[in-house]
Amino acid sequence: MVYCLARYYTAVLLSSGLAIIYGLMVNYHITVLTMINRSAIRNEEGADIRIINSKNGLFSWSSTMQGLQISAYFWGYLLGQLQGGRESEIYSPKWTMFFGVSLNVIFTLLTPMMSNIHAGAVVVGRVIEGIGGGVCFPATHILLERWSPPEERGLMDMITHAGTAAGITIFTLASGIIAATIGWKRVFYIEGLLSIIWLIIWMFFITDFPEEQTFMSDKERVFIIDSINEEEVNSGKSYLKVPWKDIFTSLPFWSIVIAHACSNWGWYLILTELPTYMKDVLNLDIKMNSFLSAIPYLSMLTFSIVLGGLIDLFLLIGIFTTTFGRKLATFFASFIPCICFALLCFITEPVYAVILMTISITCIGGMYSGFLSNHKDLSPNFAGTLLMITNTIASVPGIAVPLLVGWLNDQYPSIQLWRIVFCLTSLLYVVEFTVYLVFGSGNEQSWNKPSN
Q: Residue 54: what pLDDT?
A: 44
Q: How far apart, in whole angstroms, are the C-alpha atoms of residue 70 and residue 405?
A: 11
Q: Where in the chain is the domain with CATH 1.20.1250.20?
A: 1-233, 244-452
**Fold classified for 244-452:** Growth Hormone; Chain: A; (1.20.1250)
Percent of the chain at pLDDT > 90 equals 48
DSSP code, position 445:
P
Q: How far apart, in whole angstroms, are the C-alpha atoms of residue 294 and residue 168?
A: 7
Query: What pTM value is reported for the model?
Result: 0.84
Q: Residue 85: what pLDDT?
A: 62
Which pLDDT band holds residue 413 (cuts at 50, 70, 90)? low
Q: For the chain, count helices (H), then strands (E).
A: 17, 0
- The CATH number assigned to the domain with range 1-233 reads 1.20.1250.20
Q: Residue 139: what pLDDT?
A: 86
Mean pLDDT confidence for 161-187? 92
134 Cβ neighbours under 8 A, 6+ residues apart: 76, 77, 78, 79, 80, 81, 82, 83, 84, 100
Mean pLDDT confidence for 77-85? 79
Question: Concatenated DSSP letters for 222-286?
Answer: HHHHHHHHHHHHHHTGGGPPP-HHHHHT-HHHHHHHHHHHHHHHHHHHHHHHHHHHHHHTT---H
Q: How far apart, in whole angstroms, are the C-alpha atoms of residue 337 and residue 361?
A: 7
From residue 141, give the alpha-carbon distance in Å to each of 382, 383, 409. 14, 11, 38
Q: How far apart, in whole angstroms, are the C-alpha atoms of residue 156 and residue 146?
A: 12
Q: How far apart, in whole angstroms, are the C-alpha atoms of residue 336 and residue 68?
A: 30
Which has the minimum average pLDDT: 133-137, 151-155, 305-309? 151-155
Q: Residue 48: what pLDDT?
A: 41
Q: Would you call 59 helix, strand, or coil by DSSP?
A: strand
From residue 403, give the alpha-carbon distance in Å to each of 72, 214, 261, 427. 9, 48, 17, 19
Using the predicted structure, report yes or no on whether residue 96 has a pLDDT greater than 60: yes
Q: Considering only CA atoms, which of 344, 351, 330, 362 is closest in space to residue 417?
A: 344
Using the predicted structure, report yes or no on whether residue 237 has a pLDDT greater than 70: no
Amino acid of residue 366: G
